[in-house]
Structure 1
Amino acid sequence: MRLRTVLTTVTAALAAATCLTAAGPASAGSYGSANSYGSHTCSPAVSLDRFSDALDKTTYQGTFVGNLSALAVDRDGSLTALSDRSSLFDLNAKTLAPKKVVQLADENGAALDSESLVIDRDGTRLITSEVEPSIRRYSHDGKILDRLPVPSSLLVAPAGRATYNQTFEGLTMLPGGHTLLASMEYALAGDSTGIVRFQTWNRTKGDHFKLGAQYAYRTDDAIQGVPEVQATPDGRLLVLERGFTAGVGNTVRLYLADPRRATNTSGIENLTGQPGVHLIKKTLLTDIATCPTLGATAKQPQPNPLLDNIEGMTITGKEKGRLKVLLVSDDNQNAAQTTRFYYLRVRV
């Protein structure tokens, strides 16, 4: 999502949400230099190896390399980065240097507000747009191959109950490749503030997808949205929560979440405190503000100069019992923000 200011408001709807039940609450350094108890530690579960501003305010073949909202690892090990201005970049996994750019469009040739990305087992790209919202399947060269169904309640008002520009921000494929999961960024109208819906689809014959179960997740407060989710190898989720307050900066927290015992909310019109509705259980892994700065600088006020508008996340591998997780910030093509990559190690 593009830059916005969110004011924190305590409402009766937020109070009602407490009735729902949920258990639990420039490049620096060298890759591989972090350890659990050293100067790279963010928390007992997370360490920061390094960061890179190498792509900040750069261009490739005449296309601005920024506005990055999603990351994925391609089948050949390279990185794919998605811009919310309809550009899909292939990047060198080691240097981040762009190798290719593909321009995306909808069925009418119009640009997308593209926010999240999954590379499927056949190499095709599943990409969300948050203004409808939609999920389309694209070929490697940007041709539309398919479009997934979306529940009517998740559509932007007046067609549904979602708010424009606050819909499908996260997308991930669960282990086994049979279930796709998308996260809404903010609550639907009629749901308690801070309660966001996670929608799933089940793979059918011919690699199509039909609607599956839906779950509910509670963010820390009204200012926090969900910009990204990533499935871990055991079927749980890494969930990013992010907020922004003008003059203060960003809040970015990483959670481990488990949807496996959550209530299927697809048949519940309004989530406003019903007894027996179990939300996705979450556990805080780290607040990114607690990570070492490693020499990072910020172009606007931030609680930690390392922080920016972090929006994309992918798991790039596993080493010594920890997941290697890569984050990226969306600079909104704004001089006061930075396109920054963060290399984390996460113990789940």
Structure 2
Amino acid sequence: MRLRTVLATLTAGLAAATSLTAAGPASANPPPGHACSRSVLLDRFSDVLDKTTYDGTFVGNFSALAVDRDGSIAALEDRSSLFRLDPKTLRPKSAVHLADEKGADLDSEGLVVDVPRARPRSGGGTSTGTLLITSETEPSIRRYSPDGRILDRLPVPPALLVAPAGRATANQTFEGLTLLPGGRTLLASMEEPISGDAKDLVRFQTWTRTKGDHFRLGAQYAYRIDAGLGVPEVQATPDGRLLVLERGFTAGVGNTVRLYLADLRHATDTSGIENLTGQPGVRPIEKTLLTDVAACPSLGATAKQPQPNPLLDNIEGMTITGRDRTGRLKVLLVSDDNQNAAQTTRFYYLRVRV
């Protein structure tokens, strides 16, 4: 998506040179120099897909990641394409075009691989689970078959619709999407506050699964963002907490990307509160900083525009791919290059202790 710009928009005129690092296996015990913080290690990064194409389709603009049922990586573009990537090499295996009910492209941002519709097939070319996908333009959440057919559309609270239908701002709506453990609760994160709410409070909306794999509206929660940042992605951990990305951009300075651990358990249901203004008695989701990605080692990364750390870019997608031998979560991030010569499609391999 087109993220919040704190200063004037940066003029992109830099060369489209691509830096590469090997995407080979990471060490089971990365050296201390790979630490971003006490909780997070950076194993490696890979620019292998930067400015490439697959079957005539540009590979980039990535907004979300998910692990498919066969172990492959589903990678969603915000320009209405879904790729399936080899989990070891990241090379695309297939691409599916997505559209709304009228055949128009989506501003596709959030992704969940849901109920399997067929047994996994090794070397196959399509997703093996149904797909829940957000679009920022309305906003909306639709459920698709692996080949891109619309199966269902979820209800959205009126206040979260883009103005004038609601109180949200275009391109600042459903950016993150995740299914909580057990598969009964779906959660979407708004990127920015809606009109009438405090400038530092965004809404996280949930849905509860019903018969036939439909979803009805559930509780809603407030999440407090850092100044100048928004929420591009959220992922449920195996114990039901959330990994939350916060991100911003300042022209001439670069990106700020922070990873938080968040806990819904004591948060207030805000679905019946018209305006969130930090009023007493309303408890936002508790959050704990895991790392500022600028504190990670650069590992030889290069940037095509000014950055606090050359490793940084417009990080927008995240998924949990498993655990390592020590119990840390293996977390994969990806940046959205906006098909811009001054930005990079970059994958980041993290180990996170929660």
TM-score (norm: length of structure 1): 0.93
Task: Work out which of the residue numbers 254, 258, 265 in structure 1 matches 2:263.
Answer: 258
Distance of 1:194 and 1:200 partners within structure 2:
20
Check 1:190–1:143 CA distance in 2 against 1; reply closer, same or farther (3 A cut).
same
- 1:149 is matched with 155
- 2:240 is matched with 235
Task: Work out which of the residue numbers 91, 94, 101 in structure 2 matches 1:100.
Answer: 94
Q: 1:31, 1:50 within 8 Å by CA — same for their partners in 2?
A: no
Letter in 1 for 2:135: S
Distance of 1:155 and 1:267 partners within structure 2:
16
Task: Report SS of the residue matched to 1:111.
Answer: coil
Check 1:227–1:3 CA distance in 2 against 1; reply closer, same or farther (3 A cut).
closer
Q: 2:26, 2:44 within 8 Å by CA — same for their partners in 1?
A: no
- 2:348 is matched with 342
Compute the RMSD of aligned alpha carbons.
Answer: 1.3
Q: CA deviation at 1:194?
A: 1.5
Q: 2:304, 2:342 within 8 Å by CA — same for their partners in 1?
A: yes
Q: 1:31, 1:49 within 8 Å by CA — same for their partners in 2?
A: no
Letter in 1 for 2:312: L
Task: Work out which of the residue numbers 312, 317, 324 in structure 2 matches 1:312.
Answer: 317
Percent identity of paired positions between Structure 1 and Structure 2: 79
Task: Work out which of the residue numbers 109, 113, 118 in structure 2 matches 1:119.
Answer: 113
What are the within-5 Å matches in structure 2 for residues 198-217 of structure 1? 198-217=204-223
Whether 1:65 and 2:70 are equivalent positions in the alignment is: no
Whether 1:137 and 2:143 are equivalent positions in the alignment is: yes
Whether 1:299 and 2:304 are equivalent positions in the alignment is: yes
Whether 1:224 and 2:218 are equivalent positions in the alignment is: no
Distance of 1:28 and 1:288 partners within structure 2:
20
Q: 1:29, 1:294 within 8 Å by CA — same for their partners in 2?
A: no
Letter in 2 for 1:69: S
Distance of 1:178 and 1:313 partners within structure 2:
21
Task: Report SS of the residue matched to 1:153.
Answer: helix
Letter in 1 for 2:196: G
Distance of 1:224 and 1:152 partners within structure 2:
24
Task: Report SS of the residue matched to 2:294.
Answer: helix
Q: CA deviation at 1:32?
A: 2.9
Q: CA deviation at 1:214?
A: 0.2
Task: Work out which of the residue numbers 137, 162, 166 in structure 2 matches 1:160.
Answer: 166
Letter in 2 for 1:184: M
Task: Work out which of the residue numbers 177, 181, 191 in structure 2 matches 1:175.
Answer: 181
Q: CA deviation at 1:5?
A: 1.7
Letter in 1 for 2:71: G
- 1:288 is matched with 293
Check 1:180–1:242 CA distance in 2 against 1; reply closer, same or farther (3 A cut).
same
Distance of 1:7 and 1:246 partners within structure 2:
5
Q: CA deviation at 1:6?
A: 2.6
Answer with 184-193 or 32-41: which moved more: 32-41
Q: Unaligned 5+ residue runs, structure 1?
A: 9-25
Distance of 1:94 and 1:29 partners within structure 2:
7
Check 1:197–1:3 CA distance in 2 against 1; reply closer, same or farther (3 A cut).
closer
- 1:194 is matched with 200
Letter in 2 for 1:6: V
Q: 2:34, 2:42 within 8 Å by CA — same for their partners in 1?
A: yes
Q: 1:35, 1:47 within 8 Å by CA — same for their partners in 2?
A: no
Q: CA deviation at 1:2?
A: 2.3
Check 1:177–1:220 CA distance in 2 against 1; reply closer, same or farther (3 A cut).
same
Task: Report SS of the residue matched to 1:206.
Answer: helix
Q: 2:23, 2:89 within 8 Å by CA — same for their partners in 1?
A: no
Q: Unaligned 5+ residue runs, structure 2?
A: 9-19, 117-128
Check 1:116–1:251 CA distance in 2 against 1; reply closer, same or farther (3 A cut).
same
Distance of 2:78 and 2:223 partners within structure 1:
24
Q: CA deviation at 1:33?
A: 2.4
Q: 2:24, 2:88 within 8 Å by CA — same for their partners in 1?
A: no
- 1:2 is matched with 2
Check 1:28–1:47 CA distance in 2 against 1; reply closer, same or farther (3 A cut).
farther
Q: CA deviation at 1:30?
A: 5.2
Q: 1:35, 1:41 within 8 Å by CA — same for their partners in 2?
A: no
Q: 1:72, 1:81 within 8 Å by CA — same for their partners in 2?
A: yes
Q: CA deviation at 1:274?
A: 1.1
Distance of 1:273 and 1:143 partners within structure 2:
42
Check 1:37–1:277 CA distance in 2 against 1; reply closer, same or farther (3 A cut).
farther
Check 1:196–1:91 CA distance in 2 against 1; reply closer, same or farther (3 A cut).
same
- 2:79 is matched with 85
Letter in 2 for 1:210: R
Q: 2:112, 2:179 within 8 Å by CA — same for their partners in 1?
A: yes
